[in-house]
Amino acid sequence: MLFFIPTQSDAGTAIVPVSKTVEDAPESPEAIALQIRLDEIKAMDFSTMSSTERKQLRKEVRDIKSELREIGGGVYISVGAILIIILLLVILL
């Protein structure tokens, strides 16, 4: 017969350090030009601009960032997905 005795475990409270990786700079000429434009926009003085100009710049920044994400590509796998993949590999092999 199996008995279940509830006890406190430290497994749920363990803190796992996560290392962050610095995003690699894009290498294509288009990506470099877009990054330079973003730097120019960040260096601008917004206090002298009208609200329509600021709106246009915000839209341009959003467009540039989305283009940079498309150029960068890459595959992002969550920690849970990695654990499931490892578990499946252990079970199957």
How confident is the model over 1-24, as pLDDT tens digits? Answer: 555 565 555 555 555 555 555 455
19 token code pair: 């290392």
What confidence tens digit (pLDDT) does each residue in 24-57 have? 554 788 889 999 999 999 999 989 999 999 999 9
Predicted TM-score (pTM) of this structure: 0.51
Q: Rounded to whole angstroms, how far apart are CA atoms 89 and 3?
A: 31
Number of domain units in the chain: 1
11 located within any domain: no
Q: Rounded to whole angstroms, how far apart are CA atoms 7 and 53?
A: 62
Question: 3-state class of 67 per DSSP?
Answer: helix
Residue 78 lies in domain: 29-92
77 token code pair: 């796998």
